[in-house]
Amino acid sequence: MSSIADQVTGFQHLGLPVADLEQSVAFYRGLGLKDMERYSIEENGGVTQVAFLRIGDFWLELYQSAARFARKDDRPGPIDHLTLDVRDVDQAFADAKAAGYRMLDEQPVTLPLRKNGVRFFLIQGQDGERVEFNQLL
């Protein structure tokens, strides 16, 4: 039988909600992180702005949420989620569900981010943080 741990291959990125994307990008650039990728995600009249920055092997996702996307506890500042790479997001989803983790998605989600898109799902961590399991396509 497979387990979620069998699917995890490494740390992918840390997601941080911000109040002003451009100010936050400038701040992290000042700390030595380099711009990697930018995205605007539009849906139902809202736009969320996303910037990925990198230093060494560490990727930081900064995002300024449109009101439509914000969770009620989604506020700038706190770490929102950490992301782990997985071999097979569908198998990882099945394993996490079978293990009884608190699932935050009904199925893996696909977004047009990074080079060829991503598929991911989220679970709830012990202290309210979200853990994302992500497969780069």
CATH assignment at residue 78? 3.10.180.10
Contacts of 56 by beta carbon, 8 Å cutoff, 6+ apart? none
Total domains in the fold of the chain: 1
69 with 48: CB under 8 angstroms?
yes
Residue-by-residue DSSP string for 80-95 = -EEEEEES-HHHHHHH
Average pLDDT of the segment spanning 73-99: 82
pLDDT score recorded for residue 70: 52
Q: Which domain holds residue 36?
A: 4-136
pLDDT in tens, 28-55: 898 788 999 999 988 767 888 999 999 8
Tokens matching residue 46: 């809202």
List, in sequence order, the alpha helices (H) in the chain.
Answer: 4-7, 21-30, 89-98
